[in-house]
Structure 1
Amino acid sequence: MKKSNTNAYIALAMVSFFWGTTYLASSVGVRHMHGLMLAGLRQTAAGIILISYFLLKGYRLPDKIVLSRLFVIGVMMLCLSNGLITWAMQYIPSGLCAIVVATVPIWITIFSYFMVQRTRLSPLLIIGMIIGLLGVAGIFYNYLSSLTNPAFRLGIFLTLIACISWAIGSVLTARWALKVNFLYGAGFQMFFSGIVMLITVSLMGYSISASSMNIELWESLLYLVFIGSIVGYSSYVFALNNLPTSLASVYAYINPIVAVTLGWLILKEQLNWTTALSCLVTLAGVYMVNVSVNKNKRKYEHSN
């Protein structure tokens, strides 16, 4: 096996595990700070570090058009997605949030169909979408009583908006195909989204208090900045550029399992056979959707 492939598999393993742990870190952080504030600080700090690194290496600032598109993608994928997910974890279990987020490929397929018109609605794709959504419905069966709680409903609503925003941002990323280093571009996306979130949460009347900045919050924030954003995203980009897309997407099936397991072990979140089975059903549906989409991509590429 080539060294680059070996490193790519290591990077994929890191993404698969560490991105799953960020749900736990976020759940701990929102105990002490508003979710948008936590996500805003995380993305701003990570963005500054990445941008500074590339500027010191001699990279020039992207032109205005590229920067404007990086701003839009950053707001869609990090502010309206990561930010809302972090906020949602103030109200719903981290494991439940991770499972709902696992349906993102289904949302991407839906928006690709309307925005790009390259996705053929094959039987496998339709069946996969139905199975994935049935799995989510099974998970919610355990939380029927919680749905009467307005805070719980808000958490679910924020998570669904986050999934849709990530999907639209992903479609725009593929559609625009910006000619900028992936990590350099990600740095600007993180920075722009972080500033937007910090301004938004300040307008909502929240601020950083000295009493909230305890050891537990610092551990959560530093973990999210360095492990979640910098190490995690860098590993993901490396794996994506050195492995087939279908293989690199394996992380999406492992992240929810890691998040659910850690939520159960450390945060004492609910986990029973119904939840576990529904989680597997959801991931099976998402897998079928990904298989169908990848087949369609290969056919499209060969026809062109």
Structure 2
Amino acid sequence: MAKMQRNTVLVVLSFFAIYFIWGSTYLWNKIAVTELPAFMLAGIRFVIAGSLIFIISKILGFSLKITKQQFKNTILAGFLFLTFGNGVVVWALKFVDSSFAALEVSAQPLVVLIMMRLFQGKKIQPMSIVGVVLGITGIFLLVGQKDIIAQDGAILGMVLIFFCMLSWSYGSLFVGKADLPKNFFVNTGYQMFTSGISLLIISTLFGEQWSSPNTWSTPVLWSMSLLIVFGSIVTFTAFNYLLRIVSPEKVATSTYVNPIIAMILGWYFLNEDITAQSAIASVVLLTGVYFINSKKSLTIFSRFSGKRIPKNPLE
């Protein structure tokens, strides 16, 4: 795929988006889910974001025509990434702190690596083996805290997030080979819109009580707006732009930054505790992710160069 012309200002702004905005989505989701049903929240977010992407695409002259197979693949990819991968994580935030969720999700590259070994027979490089060991150790330290486990629903929240990581990781492998719309913006729009519809159907089946935006509190209105505009449209566009401009391992560095941003914001705005064990777990876990994403073991991300792979369930 031909590289686009580099624009230094756009590159800097795009890195700011995938570093700080993605890290902030944990806070925004946590605020919104305190008042709104999780599946309704995620469904409204993605239906509106997908619709806006379609409108913007038409204004920019992008064709929205896709084949039947591409449409089926966008539905499946959207389910793996957003319907299950995001929707269930948002629901899990009812039981765990946003900072805890961000740290657990940061182990996703480790899960991708193991899946590539199991399903594709990819050899795990020595640097990645070190990363796997550190990653597993970090997860053990993170989820093994008695104070956290003792909280109501905490174990359920941890398990749900883990299954969402499995869904997100398998989705990452799927899009590497799937026939999807060539235009990443259009591809994202279809995934978001179809996932949003699915989430609203799930919300109805679960009997969630829907509410009108005019009854939402000001913090929830702001959080939802930020999730739609910045957490969905801006960051996904920035991510795909960077994949075409810079090397994949540089884009993957957002994996190291997002949990730190989430921890700081959760502590500052929501008074979430950062325990010493959580801090140690974050250092160990993120060091493991670093080894997995190191240049010598780049197979996870390089094979997806030019394709859109969300790396974070709360993107």
TM-score by length of 2: 0.88
1:282 aligns with 2:285: yes
Structural mapping, 1:1-304, within 5 Å: 3-56=6-59, 57-117=61-121, 119-142=122-145, 144-149=146-151, 151-176=153-178, 178-210=180-212, 212-291=215-294, 292-294=296-298
- Point out where structure 1 has 5 or more consecutive residues left out of the alignment: none
Q: Is the 8 A contact 2:84 2:167 kept in 1?
A: yes
Task: Report deviation, 1:209.
Answer: 2.3
Specify the alignment match of 2:312 in structure 1: none
Q: Is the 8 A contact 2:89 2:164 kept in 1?
A: yes
Q: Which amino acid aligns with 2:85?
A: S
Q: Please, what is the CA RMSD of the aligned residues? A: 2.1
Task: Report deviation, 1:61.
Answer: 1.7
- Call closer, same or farther: CA 1:3–1:169 in 2, change over 3 Å: closer
Task: Report deviation, 1:164.
Answer: 0.7
Q: Summarize deviations over 1:111-134 as a string: whole Å, max 9, x none.
A: 2223333x2122321221110111
Partner SS state of residue 115, structure 1: helix
Q: Is the 8 A contact 1:120 1:296 kept in 2?
A: no
Q: Is the 8 A contact 2:135 2:286 kept in 1?
A: yes
Q: Summarize deviations over 1:221-259 as a string: whole Å, max 9, x none.
A: 111000100111111111111110000111111000000
Task: Report deviation, 1:272.
Answer: 2.8
- Call closer, same or farther: CA 1:64–1:28 in 2, change over 3 Å: same
Partner SS state of residue 278, structure 2: helix
- Call closer, same or farther: CA 1:297–1:171 in 2, change over 3 Å: closer
Aligned equivalents of 2:93, 2:208: Cα separation in 1: 17
Task: Report deviation, 1:148.
Answer: 4.3
Q: Which amino acid aligns with 1:93?
A: D
- Call closer, same or farther: CA 1:126–1:34 in 2, change over 3 Å: same
Aligned equivalents of 1:213, 1:166: Cα separation in 2: 30
Percent identity over paired residues: 26
Aligned equivalents of 1:261, 1:123: Cα separation in 2: 33
Task: Report deviation, 1:212.
Answer: 4.7
Task: Report deviation, 1:136.
Answer: 1.7
Q: Is the 8 A contact 1:33 1:212 kept in 2?
A: no
Partner SS state of residue 90, structure 2: helix
Deviates more, 1:105-114 or 1:204-213: 204-213
Deviates more, 1:252-261 or 1:48-57: 48-57
Partner SS state of residue 226, structure 1: helix
Deviates more, 1:208-217 or 1:97-106: 208-217
Aligned equivalents of 1:48, 1:297: Cα separation in 2: 29
Task: Report deviation, 1:4.
Answer: 2.0
Task: Report deviation, 1:40.
Answer: 1.0
Partner SS state of residue 266, structure 1: helix
- Aligned pair count reads 297
Task: Report deviation, 1:138.
Answer: 1.3
The structure with the largest helix share of the pair is: 1
Aligned equivalents of 1:63, 1:180: Cα separation in 2: 11
Runs of 4+ in 1 over 4 A off after TM superposition: 295-299
Task: Report deviation, 1:137.
Answer: 1.4
Aligned equivalents of 1:239, 1:84: Cα separation in 2: 28
Aligned equivalents of 2:49, 2:186: Cα separation in 1: 11
Q: Summarize deviations over 1:163-199 as a string: whole Å, max 9, x none.
A: 1111001100112253421111001000111110110
Partner SS state of residue 180, structure 2: coil
Q: Is the 8 A contact 1:62 1:180 kept in 2?
A: no
Q: Summarize deviations over 1:188-219 as a string: whole Å, max 9, x none.
A: 00011111011001110013124752222211
